Amino acid sequence: MGRLIAISNRTAADASARAGGLAVAVWESLTATGGMWFGWSGNIVDEVGEPEVIKDEGVEFVVTDFTEDEHDGFYLQYANRVIWPVFHYRVDLAHFGNTEFATYAAVNERIANMVVPHLKEGDSVWVHDYHFLLMGDYLRKGGWDGPIGFFLHIPFPSPEVFMALPEHEQIARAMCEFSVLGFQSESDRSNFVQYLVRHYDAVDEGDGWISVFGRRIRANAYPIGIEAEAFAEASVSQRAMTAASRIGRFLGGRQLVLGVDRMDYSKGLPQRFEAVGKLFDHFPKTRGKVSVTQIAPPSRSKVEEYRDLRIQLDELAGRINGDYGDLDWIPLRYLARSYDRRELAGLYRIASVCLVTPLRDGMNLVAKEFVMAQDPENPGVLILSQFAGAAEQLSDTLIVNPHDSDKVAETIYQALEMPLEERKARWEKLRKTVVEQDISWWRQKFLDDLDAKTD
Ligand code: GDG
């Protein structure tokens, strides 16, 4: 493979942003190929000037500022108040307007025009996520006819839901300008392909090949992984052990049920809190013996729906603690702040149960991190939503419907009571999958297909 040219909303130009799995995976491919990474600088300005170029270890970052209008129309509105809710099946929360799509398209075009002059024969472009669904089209219009891969980190909805987007046809046609389209799960891939088959007479030729709009593209599932071994090491680091002993003081011998999610309505937190209330209601044995801690760092707090969610969670947690709490016991704690990755690893390690119950999720990396952080001699139990992409790979865990709070409560109880032998047997299978299908496996699988497409 020649140079890899990455495009994503935020880049890892700042070395501290290279801590997460995805940033590491992309970064490694760029250092190996002397590549480039394009995206937003994170700054909002009155007037956009020349993009800033930052060079680090042979990788060139090219980042642009956004105007206030771009940041609002492209990022806050169309990407996060239209695409995000619709792709997570929350059409009710989408704010369809007249002008935001134009700004979204204009930002895709502006960044494409920033990239094209840098592209050389032999390069491969790799575009990330829902911010740039139109990027393939604009790169082609700019004159680039080489390979372009695209990876969607969030779900792709069923055809009927996708069609709620007034611009669905324009988006779908633009997506078909990518050479390789990557989805998190088979179900996302199948939603996309079904839409094309039903509405545009696409032919699913097998092995990921689709012919549509007079060309052949490849659409496959590439379930994203984590830096599995590195996460296992983080869970026994000094920082992890300190965090574990701090929460241990709070628990005072009680069992820990843990949740870790960005505070987002897709993560099913109100439904999860309801289930926790039912756990204490239906299984009195757990009262005073189990503490639930939810880590929920706020995200996108400028978007109204996120402020509403915060209020809802405050109310629910208050009610549950009021109903069930006691002088020496807080049943449900929710901490609206973030922790260091190693501290999280330490919390996962001492948790008896991890609740990963999104209403929809592209993959959900927390599920995989929890698996890797377990003590092999005494592993905890993962409860996973059937609507997380991870459920396709981690079917050996306890899978739940997050809307069914009675059943979720019952499953938490089952997990708390699960005998050691069963916990070990399940965990070993999960661990094997997470280790084998890690972030390097994911990157290689995607880049191999992108490479094959160029032969
Ligand atoms: C999108 C898709 C897809 C959470 N709290 C803290 C913290 N985190 C870390 C977790 C995990 C990451 O954030 C969250 O990843 P998820 O996969 O769970 O969810 P999204 O943020 O919605 O990610 C998702 C993913 O992209 C990758 O393709 O799986 O479906 O929605 O790594 O550990 N990290 C730190 N402090 C926290 O308090 N340091």
Fill in the DSSP letter of residue 184: S
- Length of the chain in terms of residues written: 455
User: What pLDDT is recorded for position 246?
Assistant: 97
Same domain, 206 and 243: no
Q: Find how far residue 60's CA is from the centre of its chain.
A: 26
Same domain, 447 and 417: no
Q: Which of 366, 368, 382, 387 to mutate to test the pocket of ligand 1 (most atoms within 8 A of CB)?
A: 366
The count of other CB atoms within 10 Å of the CB of residue 143 is 9
φ, ψ dihedrals at 440, nearest 5°:
-70, -40
State which H helix or E strand residue 242 sits in. helix 238-251
User: What pLDDT is recorded for position 29?
Assistant: 84
CATH number at residue 356: 3.40.50.2000
- Residue 344 Cβ inside 6 Å of ligand 1? The answer reads yes
User: What pLDDT is recorded for position 269?
Assistant: 97
Write out the two tokens for 271.
């439904």
Q: How many angstroms is it from 327 CA to the middle of ligand 1?
A: 34
Is residue 15 within 8 Å of residue 56, measured between CB atoms?
Answer: yes
Same domain, 236 and 123: no
What is the tally of structural domains in the chain?
A: 2
Is residue 454 within 8 Å of residue 146, measured between CB atoms?
Answer: yes
User: What pLDDT is recorded for position 261?
Assistant: 95
Same domain, 194 and 96: yes
User: What pLDDT is recorded for position 307?
Assistant: 86
Same domain, 235 and 311: yes
Same domain, 215 and 238: no
> Could you give the angle at the alpha carbon of 293 between the alpha carbons of 291 and 298, nearest 5°?
160
User: What pLDDT is recorded for position 455?
Assistant: 46
Same domain, 191 and 258: no
- What b/e readout covers 308-318, taking b as 16+ CB neighbours within 10 angstroms? ebeeebeebbe
- Residue 278 Cβ inside 6 Å of ligand 1? The answer reads no
Provide the pairing of β-strand 180-183 with 203-206: unpaired
Query: Nearest-CA neighbor of 74 among 47, 104, 96?
Result: 104
Rg (CA), the chain: 22
Same domain, 257 and 163: no
Same domain, 168 and 240: no
Q: How many angstroms is it from 421 CA to the middle of ligand 1?
A: 30
Same domain, 129 and 159: yes
The burial class, CB within 10 Å (0-12 / 13-18 / 19+), for 53 is exposed
User: Residue 284's domain spans which residues?
Assistant: 228-435
Q: What is the mean pLDDT of each run of 10 residues along the chain (455 residues)?
A: 93 78 81 92 95 93 97 95 97 92 98 97 96 98 97 97 97 98 98 97 95 96 96 98 97 97 95 98 97 91 80 95 96 94 97 98 97 98 98 97 98 98 98 97 95 69
CA dihedral over 161, 166, 168, 174, signed as positive or negative: negative
Same domain, 75 and 161: yes
Same domain, 278 and 424: yes
Can you give the pTM of this predicted structure? 0.96
- Residue 88 Cβ inside 6 Å of ligand 1? The answer reads no
Which atom in ligand 1 lies closest to the alpha carbon of residue 366?
18
